[in-house]
Amino acid sequence: MVIVLGGHTYASPFVEAGYDTQYIDPRLAVPQDLPNDTELVVFCGGTDVNPRLYGEGPDPRTGSPDVLRDLNEDYYYKQCVNKNIPMLGICRGSQFLTVMNGGKLVQHINNHGLYGTHPLFQLTKILDEDVEITSTHHQMMFPYKSENDFEVLATAAGKENTMVIEVVWWPGTKCLCIQGHPEYMPRDSSGYRYFRKLLEKYLDVVI
Protein backbone atom coordinates (compact mmCIF):
# COMPACT_ATOMS: atom_id res chain seq x y z
CA MET A 1 0.00 0.00 0.00
CA VAL A 2 1.36 3.41 -1.03
CA ILE A 3 -0.32 6.46 0.51
CA VAL A 4 -0.03 9.69 -1.48
CA LEU A 5 -0.68 12.94 0.39
CA GLY A 6 -1.69 14.76 -2.76
CA GLY A 7 -2.85 14.28 -6.34
CA HIS A 8 -2.69 11.61 -9.00
CA THR A 9 0.36 13.09 -10.72
CA TYR A 10 2.58 12.12 -7.82
CA ALA A 11 1.03 8.68 -7.64
CA SER A 12 1.51 7.81 -11.30
CA PRO A 13 4.89 6.01 -10.93
CA PHE A 14 3.43 3.72 -8.27
CA VAL A 15 0.15 3.11 -10.09
CA GLU A 16 2.08 2.22 -13.25
CA ALA A 17 4.19 -0.24 -11.26
CA GLY A 18 1.08 -1.98 -9.91
CA TYR A 19 1.16 -0.78 -6.31
CA ASP A 20 -2.10 -0.49 -4.39
CA THR A 21 -2.22 3.31 -4.15
CA GLN A 22 -4.54 5.45 -2.05
CA TYR A 23 -4.87 9.21 -1.76
CA ILE A 24 -5.31 11.28 1.38
CA ASP A 25 -6.03 14.99 1.12
CA PRO A 26 -3.41 16.72 3.33
CA ARG A 27 -5.88 19.55 3.98
CA LEU A 28 -8.57 17.47 5.69
CA ALA A 29 -10.15 19.12 8.70
CA VAL A 30 -9.32 15.99 10.72
CA PRO A 31 -6.30 13.91 9.60
CA GLN A 32 -6.76 10.18 9.09
CA ASP A 33 -4.93 7.24 10.61
CA LEU A 34 -2.75 5.44 8.08
CA PRO A 35 -3.86 1.92 7.06
CA ASN A 36 -2.00 -0.88 8.83
CA ASP A 37 -0.59 -2.23 5.58
CA THR A 38 1.00 1.10 4.54
CA GLU A 39 4.45 0.48 3.03
CA LEU A 40 5.28 4.03 1.90
CA VAL A 41 3.90 7.54 2.38
CA VAL A 42 4.56 10.17 -0.31
CA PHE A 43 4.69 13.84 0.73
CA CYS A 44 3.99 15.96 -2.36
CA GLY A 45 4.61 19.44 -3.79
CA GLY A 46 2.74 22.61 -2.98
CA THR A 47 3.03 25.82 -0.96
CA ASP A 48 6.13 26.86 0.97
CA VAL A 49 6.61 25.28 4.40
CA ASN A 50 5.88 27.67 7.27
CA PRO A 51 9.26 29.09 8.39
CA ARG A 52 8.01 29.10 11.98
CA LEU A 53 8.39 25.30 11.92
CA TYR A 54 12.17 25.77 11.72
CA GLY A 55 12.40 28.82 13.95
CA GLU A 56 12.58 31.62 11.39
CA GLY A 57 10.44 34.48 10.18
CA PRO A 58 9.32 34.58 6.54
CA ASP A 59 11.50 35.97 3.79
CA PRO A 60 9.60 38.53 1.66
CA ARG A 61 9.69 35.99 -1.21
CA THR A 62 8.29 33.11 0.87
CA GLY A 63 4.69 32.22 0.09
CA SER A 64 1.88 32.34 2.64
CA PRO A 65 1.88 29.11 4.68
CA ASP A 66 -0.84 26.48 4.57
CA VAL A 67 -1.12 26.04 8.32
CA LEU A 68 -3.66 23.21 8.18
CA ARG A 69 -1.58 21.22 5.72
CA ASP A 70 1.56 21.68 7.83
CA LEU A 71 -0.30 20.43 10.91
CA ASN A 72 -1.79 17.43 9.13
CA GLU A 73 1.47 16.41 7.50
CA ASP A 74 3.19 16.67 10.88
CA TYR A 75 0.59 14.16 12.11
CA TYR A 76 1.30 11.78 9.23
CA TYR A 77 5.05 12.15 9.66
CA LYS A 78 4.81 11.20 13.34
CA GLN A 79 2.62 8.20 12.49
CA CYS A 80 5.25 7.01 10.01
CA VAL A 81 8.06 7.38 12.54
CA ASN A 82 6.09 5.52 15.22
CA LYS A 83 5.14 2.73 12.81
CA ASN A 84 8.54 2.60 11.05
CA ILE A 85 6.97 3.44 7.67
CA PRO A 86 9.35 4.82 4.99
CA MET A 87 8.62 8.26 3.56
CA LEU A 88 9.30 9.91 0.20
CA GLY A 89 9.26 13.69 -0.15
CA ILE A 90 9.04 15.40 -3.55
CA CYS A 91 9.59 19.17 -3.93
CA ARG A 92 7.71 20.77 -0.99
CA GLY A 93 7.52 17.27 0.50
CA SER A 94 11.31 17.01 0.57
CA GLN A 95 11.54 20.39 2.29
CA PHE A 96 8.85 19.48 4.82
CA LEU A 97 10.55 16.19 5.74
CA THR A 98 13.87 18.01 6.09
CA VAL A 99 12.25 20.39 8.57
CA MET A 100 10.60 17.52 10.45
CA ASN A 101 14.02 15.90 10.79
CA GLY A 102 15.42 19.03 12.42
CA GLY A 103 16.84 20.77 9.35
CA LYS A 104 16.05 24.19 7.96
CA LEU A 105 15.33 25.72 4.55
CA VAL A 106 17.08 28.37 2.53
CA GLN A 107 14.03 30.47 1.77
CA HIS A 108 15.04 31.70 -1.67
CA ILE A 109 17.55 30.70 -4.33
CA ASN A 110 17.85 31.91 -7.90
CA ASN A 111 17.68 30.03 -11.21
CA HIS A 112 15.81 26.96 -9.94
CA GLY A 113 12.20 28.13 -10.11
CA LEU A 114 12.15 27.06 -13.76
CA TYR A 115 10.53 24.30 -15.74
CA GLY A 116 12.88 22.15 -17.79
CA THR A 117 15.95 20.23 -16.66
CA HIS A 118 19.43 20.78 -15.28
CA PRO A 119 22.42 18.49 -14.59
CA LEU A 120 22.64 16.61 -11.30
CA PHE A 121 25.89 15.79 -9.48
CA GLN A 122 25.74 12.46 -7.64
CA LEU A 123 27.74 12.64 -4.40
CA THR A 124 26.78 9.01 -3.85
CA LYS A 125 26.81 7.48 -7.30
CA ILE A 126 24.02 5.01 -7.89
CA LEU A 127 23.50 5.48 -11.64
CA ASP A 128 26.44 5.04 -14.01
CA GLU A 129 25.55 7.88 -16.37
CA ASP A 130 25.09 11.64 -16.40
CA VAL A 131 21.74 12.69 -14.93
CA GLU A 132 19.39 15.55 -15.87
CA ILE A 133 16.49 16.40 -13.55
CA THR A 134 13.71 18.98 -13.38
CA SER A 135 14.11 22.36 -11.69
CA THR A 136 10.93 23.88 -10.28
CA HIS A 137 11.70 25.27 -6.83
CA HIS A 138 12.81 28.53 -5.23
CA GLN A 139 13.72 27.15 -1.80
CA MET A 140 16.38 24.63 -0.76
CA MET A 141 16.80 21.93 1.85
CA PHE A 142 19.44 22.78 4.46
CA PRO A 143 19.88 19.76 6.74
CA TYR A 144 23.11 20.79 8.45
CA LYS A 145 21.70 22.14 11.74
CA SER A 146 19.90 18.86 12.46
CA GLU A 147 20.99 16.46 15.18
CA ASN A 148 19.64 13.56 13.10
CA ASP A 149 21.97 11.60 10.84
CA PHE A 150 21.61 12.44 7.16
CA GLU A 151 23.42 12.01 3.87
CA VAL A 152 23.35 14.50 1.01
CA LEU A 153 23.15 12.24 -2.03
CA ALA A 154 23.13 14.80 -4.85
CA THR A 155 23.49 18.49 -5.62
CA ALA A 156 22.92 20.61 -8.70
CA ALA A 157 25.92 20.40 -11.00
CA GLY A 158 27.93 23.39 -12.16
CA LYS A 159 30.20 25.97 -10.53
CA GLU A 160 27.44 28.34 -9.41
CA ASN A 161 24.96 25.68 -8.33
CA THR A 162 27.17 23.04 -6.69
CA MET A 163 25.76 23.70 -3.22
CA VAL A 164 22.10 23.56 -4.26
CA ILE A 165 21.04 20.37 -2.48
CA GLU A 166 18.82 18.11 -4.56
CA VAL A 167 18.57 14.76 -2.69
CA VAL A 168 18.91 13.95 1.04
CA TRP A 169 18.54 10.63 2.88
CA TRP A 170 17.60 10.47 6.58
CA PRO A 171 18.28 6.84 7.63
CA GLY A 172 16.90 7.10 11.17
CA THR A 173 13.42 8.06 9.98
CA LYS A 174 13.64 6.42 6.54
CA CYS A 175 12.97 9.73 4.73
CA LEU A 176 14.14 10.09 1.13
CA CYS A 177 13.91 13.75 0.08
CA ILE A 178 14.00 14.60 -3.64
CA GLN A 179 13.84 18.26 -4.58
CA GLY A 180 13.05 17.71 -8.28
CA HIS A 181 9.93 16.34 -9.95
CA PRO A 182 10.48 12.78 -11.23
CA GLU A 183 6.74 12.43 -11.89
CA TYR A 184 7.14 14.94 -14.74
CA MET A 185 10.14 13.21 -16.32
CA PRO A 186 9.89 10.94 -19.38
CA ARG A 187 10.15 7.31 -18.32
CA ASP A 188 13.17 6.77 -20.59
CA SER A 189 15.08 9.79 -19.19
CA SER A 190 18.22 9.66 -17.05
CA GLY A 191 16.39 11.57 -14.29
CA TYR A 192 13.67 8.95 -14.07
CA ARG A 193 16.19 6.09 -14.10
CA TYR A 194 17.99 7.82 -11.24
CA PHE A 195 14.68 8.18 -9.35
CA ARG A 196 14.00 4.46 -9.77
CA LYS A 197 17.45 3.59 -8.44
CA LEU A 198 16.97 5.86 -5.43
CA LEU A 199 13.68 4.22 -4.49
CA GLU A 200 15.09 0.74 -4.90
CA LYS A 201 18.27 1.39 -2.89
CA TYR A 202 16.88 3.48 -0.04
CA LEU A 203 13.18 2.59 0.25
CA ASP A 204 13.15 -0.97 -1.13
CA VAL A 205 10.50 0.11 -3.65
CA VAL A 206 10.72 -1.17 -7.23
CA ILE A 207 8.98 0.81 -9.96
Compute the CA torsion angle 77, 78, 81, 87 (nearest 10 deg). -10
Question: What mean pLDDT is reported for the chain?
Answer: 92
What the chain holds in terms of domains, given with CATH numbers, is 2-203 (3.40.50.880)
User: What is the rounded average pLDDT of the residues 62-78?
Assistant: 96
Judge whether residue 142 has pLDDT over 70.
Answer: yes
Give the integer Cα–Cα distance in Å for 176 and 42.
10
Judge whether residue 162 has pLDDT over 80.
Answer: no
**Banded pLDDT at 29 (limits 50, 70, 90):** confident
Judge whether residue 160 has pLDDT over 60.
Answer: no
How deeply is 121 buried, as exposed, middle or buried, from its count of CB atoms within 10 A (0-12, 13-18, 19+)?
A: middle
Judge whether residue 8 has pLDDT over 90.
Answer: no
**Banded pLDDT at 174 (limits 50, 70, 90):** very high
SS3 assignment for 54-123: HCCCCCCCCCCCCHHHHHHHHHHHHHHHHHCCCEEEECHHHHHHHHHCCCEEECCCCCCEEEEEEEEEEC
User: What is the rounded average pLDDT of the residues 44-48?
Assistant: 94
The pLDDT of residue 143? 96
- This prediction has a pTM of 0.95
